[in-house]
């Protein structure tokens, strides 16, 4: 005899405010086939587990989606991934792998490296390298761009092969919800591919925003276009002073292009502002121009380039002509195309992102990871880690959840800035100025001595509590290879690093990382944090 069990929505969705969805579970046969009845505000759907084509369908083949899909398949789940790249307004498109691989971390790091090598060539003579005609050393943009794009294409290929080997079905189609368990995917030829899944993961990430000013979309580009630009960018204006703005400005200036950053308010919002301002000072010293407290007003194509009008801090309209205008003003979440209303998934109206608890949306079998999540760091390792943990919870009875605190990150400015934990400002707000101790130091990297490189911006900061065993709650480092330096300290902070433990650690000499262990001057003492010795 079939048993019928109805669980009203508030039982299943008790951790949520009331939503436009009712979830009912029914046991209807001797084989305990699980049947779900979902009522959105539009329709009622009845699903039986046996009818689903997949255990997991992932929308978005980027960092988070692919990590979750591969992990789930390794655990025996039947998995499909929809990935589709809508071309940028300039017509740029790319292959499988998402933002990081195609138009993010990877091409950015390679171009950063190209710029650092240019710097190294100029320093090499001081180390004894005989460089015949140093003045003629210059970048060949086309060669750089082709090399970067070739690497990306190889990663796209390896990613496809990897999915095939792991038996994850890749569907090159723009996916959307037809109902809570059914995904339709519009393919390039306009045909629709329809699949059903027990669980669905939204991992569609975001795309760069354009400002709402005349000529922005027609005449500007974004990070979606810069890495594959067929012509050298030339004199470039970058609007926005976040991660992307500073990183692009850093490598373009390093490659020899006249580069200006237009800053609306502050540099690197959300980061420790003392560190952010040191980064800007350092970039300015290298030749990057900064226009502070300015907003673009109009972008117009003219015979001699792209004319930009902006409003300066006094409210006056200023203008200049550039070869390239790059907008780096943040990214918009790609939820609009998903027809989330057909599944009852709720979005935060302010930023179109999804609010999820442990990556679970307000609809219990629909999950979200990566850049699409509201108020979570937009970083590749965050998306990957959350995606893998989710699949382990879904298909391997794991209970481990993602910890979004103490995520380390690095701004790949010419002199890099890596950090983990709280900024000085955040620590002051959370714990109160009297309860925190800031240790800081300027230092001289050994490799800066021979070319007599300016080291006045090599600075670090350790934020600790004054009681509670002097727990370390933030570490900040500006210097060469900051990402490599801060990664290990992130593990230490996760393991409850205290200042006494930091001080009892033996350093590796001669490295820049050991400076974080040598630090002893507190800001409170007002002692000079400049290096004591000239050459050790
Ligand atoms: P994505 O990687 O964006 O993947 C989403 C995929 O879904 C895309 O392929 C998209 O085309 C596809 N898609 C969208 N809608 C649909 C749909 N309806 N159907 C099917 N497919 C769809 N992070 C770092 O950690 N370190 C860095 O150095 C770094 N540098 C960056 C530099 C730049 C210039 C940029 C833009 C980002 C950078 N990031 C960096 C951030 C990082 O790229 C993102 O955090 C990461 O890619 C997010 O992964 P995701 O899986 O959420 O989304
Ligand atoms: P972002 O860090 O949010 O910075 C956006 C910048 O644009 C801010 O300076 C902001 O100024 C400015 N801005 C916003 N709207 C504007 C407008 N209408 N006109 C002029 N300026 C405007 O965004 P992003 O640099 O585009 O990067 C997006 C995300 O990608 C980041 O959050 C990051 O997580 C990820 N990312 C990571 C890395 C890395 O790990 N190294 C590198 C690149 C990107 P205000 O401060 O005034 O708002």
CATH assignment at residue 477: 3.30.390.30
Q: Is 241 a known ligand-binding residue?
A: yes
**Domain assignment present for 313:** yes
Residue ending a domain, among 329, 345, 378, is 329
Residues 272 and 355 in one domain: no
Phi, psi of 212 (to 5 degrees): -90, 70
Whether pLDDT at 415 is above 80:
yes
Where among 329, 349, 383 does a domain terminate? 329
Instruction: List the beta bridge partners of residue 500.
Output: none
Q: Is the pLDDT of residue 421 over 50?
A: yes
* Centre of ligand 1 from the C-alpha of residue 500, in Å: 39
Measure the CA–CA gap between 69 and 81, rounded to whole angstroms.
7
The CA distances from residue 57 to 83, 200, 309, 471, in Å, are: 11, 5, 46, 42
CATH number assigned to the domain comprising residue 259: 3.50.50.60
**Quick one: 362 and 387 in the same domain?**
yes
Same domain, 183 and 276: no
Q: Is the CB of 175 under 6 A from ligand 1?
A: yes
- In the prediction, which pLDDT does 36 show? 58
According to the model, what pLDDT value does residue 533 have? 56
State whether 139 and 191 are in the same domain.
yes
Does the annotation place 254 within a ligand binding site?
A: no
* Domain limit, last residue, from 329, 353, 377: 329
Say if residue 535 is exposed, middle or buried (CB neighbours under 10 Å; 0-12, 13-18, 19+): exposed
Query: Which range of residues forms the domain containing residue 164?
Result: 54-208+332-395
Residue 32 β-bridge partners: none
Q: Which residues are catalytic?
A: 509
**C-alpha–C-alpha distance, residues 395 and 393, integer Å:** 6
Q: Is 338 in the pocket of ligand 1 (CB under 6 A)?
A: yes
277-305: b or e for each residue (b if 16 or more CB lie within 10 Å)?
ebbbebbeebebebbeebbbbebeeeeeb
Q: What is the rounded average pLDDT for all residues in the chain?
A: 92
Domain count, the chain: 4
Question: Given this model, what pLDDT does residue 468 score?
Answer: 78
My answer on whether 89 and 128 are in the same domain is yes
Give domain status of residue 132, yes or no: yes
Answer yes or no: do 64 and 204 share one domain. Answer: yes
First vs last C-alpha separation in the chain: 83
247 is in an annotated binding site: yes
Q: Tens digits of per-residue pLDDT, 393-407?
A: 999 999 999 999 999
Cβ atoms 183, 194 nearer than 8 A: yes
Same domain for 183 and 58 = yes
Structure tokens at 424: 């000085």
Q: Whose CA is nearest to atom 38 of ligand 1?
A: 104
134 C-alpha vs ligand 1 centroid, how far in Å?
39
58 bridge partner residues: 81, 201
pLDDT category of residue 326 using cuts at 50, 70 and 90: very high
Answer yes or no: do 66 and 164 share one domain.
yes
Q: What is the pLDDT of residues 274-287, one digit of tens each?
A: 999 999 999 999 99
- Structural domain contains residue 233: yes
Find the mean pLDDT for residues 503-528: 97
Predicted confidence at residue 165, as pLDDT, reads 98
Rg of the Cα atoms in the chain: 26
Structure tokens at 437: 């101790």
Cα 64 to ligand 1 centroid, rounded to whole Å: 8
- 245 annotated as ligand-binding: yes
Same-domain status, 345 and 367: yes
What's 335's DSSP letter? T
Ligand having the closest approach to the CA of 295: 2
- Residue with CA at minimum distance from ligand 2 atom 11: 264
Averaged pLDDT for residues 477-503:
98
**Distance of alpha carbon 224 from alpha carbon 229, whole angstroms:** 10
**What predicted TM-score, i.e. pTM, was given to this entire model?**
0.93
Instruction: Please tell me the distance from the alpha carbon of residue 431 to that of residue 472, in angstroms, as a whole number.
Output: 13
At residue 261, the pLDDT reads 98
Decide which of 367 and 49 is more confident. Answer: 367
d(CA 460, CA 514): 11
Q: What is the mean pLDDT of residues 59-65?
A: 98
pLDDT tens-digit map of 71-102: 999 999 999 999 999 999 999 999 999 999 99
Whether the pLDDT of residue 16 is over 90: the answer is no
In the predicted structure, residue 4 carries a pLDDT above the cut 80: no
- Is residue 1 scored above 50 in pLDDT? no
Residues 61 and 156 in one domain: yes
Does residue 288 lie in a domain region? yes
Q: How far is the CA of 327 from the centre of ligand 2 (A)?
A: 9
Residue whose CA lies nearest to ligand 2 atom number 23: 330
For residue 230, tell me if it sits in a domain: yes
Residues 307 and 290 in one domain: yes
529 domain residue, yes or no = no
Q: What integer pLDDT is reported at residue 51 of this predicted model?
A: 84
Q: Is residue 74 part of a domain?
A: yes
Cβ atoms within 10 Å of 100's Cβ, excluding its own: 24
Q: Which residue lies with its CA nearest to atom 14 of ligand 2? A: 329
Residue 32 contacts by C-beta under 8 Å, 6 or more apart in sequence? none
Six-digit token string for 460:
């670090």
Residues 185 and 308 in one domain: no
From 64, 83, 104, give the residue whose CB has the most ligand 1 atoms within 8 Å, as the site to mutate. Answer: 104
| Residue 437 near residue 422 (C-beta atoms within 8 A) | no
**Does residue 532 fall inside a structural domain?**
no
């Amino acid at each position: 005899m079939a048993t019928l069990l109805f669980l009203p929505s508030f039982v299943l969705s008790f951790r949520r405010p009331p939503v436009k969805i009712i979830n009912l579970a029914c046991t209807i046969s001797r084989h305990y086939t699980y049947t779900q009845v979902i009522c959105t505000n539009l329709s009622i759907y009845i699903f039986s587990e046996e009818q689903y084509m997949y255990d997991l369908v992932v929308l978005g083949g980027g960092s988070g989606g692919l990590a979750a899909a591969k992990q789930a398949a390794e655990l025996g789940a039947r998995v499909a991934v929809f990935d589709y790249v809508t071309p940028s307004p300039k017509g740029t498109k790319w292959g499988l792998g998402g933002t990081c691989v195609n138009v993010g971390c990877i091409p950015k790091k390679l171009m950063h490296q190209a710029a650092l090598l240019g710097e190294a060539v100029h320093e090499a003579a001081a180390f004894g390298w005989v460089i015949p005609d140093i003045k003629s050393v210059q970048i060949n943009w086309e060669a750089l761009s082709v090399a970067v794009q070739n690497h990306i294409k190889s990663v796209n290929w390896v990613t496809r092969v990897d999915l095939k080997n792991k038996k994850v079905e890749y569907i090159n189609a723009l996916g959307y919800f037809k109902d809570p368990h059914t995904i339709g995917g519009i393919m390039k030829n306009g045909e629709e591919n329809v699949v059903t899944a027990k669980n669905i993961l939204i991992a569609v990430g975001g795309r760069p925003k354009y400002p709402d000013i005349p000529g922005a979309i027609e005449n500007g580009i974004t990070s979606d276009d810069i890495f594959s630009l067929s012509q050298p960018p030339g004199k470039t204006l970058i609007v926005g002073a976040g991660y992307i703005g500073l990183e692009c400005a850093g490598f373009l200036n390093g490659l020899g292009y006249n580069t200006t950053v237009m800053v609306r308010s502050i540099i690197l919002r959300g980061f420790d502002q003392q560190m952010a301002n040191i980064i800007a000072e350092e970039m300015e010293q290298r030749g990057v121009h900064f226009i502070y407290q300015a907003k673009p007003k109009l972008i117009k194509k003219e015979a001699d380039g792209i004319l930009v009008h902006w409003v300066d801090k006094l409210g006056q309209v200023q203008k200049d002509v550039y070869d390239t205008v790059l907008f780096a003003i943040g990214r918009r979440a790609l939820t609009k195309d998903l027809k989330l209303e057909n599944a009852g998934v709720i979005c935060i109206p302010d930023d179109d992102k999804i609010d999820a608890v442990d990556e679970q949306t307000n609809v219990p079998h629909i999950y979200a990871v990566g850049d699409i999540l509201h108020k979570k760091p937009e970083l590749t390792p965050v998306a990957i880690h959350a995606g893998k943990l989710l699949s382990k919870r879904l298909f391997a009875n794991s209970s481990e959840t993602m910890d979004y605190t103490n995520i380390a990150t690095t701004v790949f400015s010419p002199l890099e800035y890596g950090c983990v934990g709280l900024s000085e400002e955040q620590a002051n707000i959370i714990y109160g100025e009297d309860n925190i101790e800031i240790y800081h130091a300027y230092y001289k990297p050994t490799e800066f001595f021979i070319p007599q490189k300016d080291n006045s911006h090599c600075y670090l900061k350790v934020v600790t509590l004054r009681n509670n065993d002097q727990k370390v709650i933030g570490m900040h480092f500006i210097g060469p290879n900051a990402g490599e330096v801060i990664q290990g300290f992130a593990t230490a902070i996760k393991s409850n690093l205290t200042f006494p433990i930091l001080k009892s650690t033996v350093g590796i000499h001669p490295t820049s990382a050991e400076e974080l262990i040598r630090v002893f001057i507190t800001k409170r003492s007002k002692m000079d944090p400049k290096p004591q010795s000239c050459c050790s």
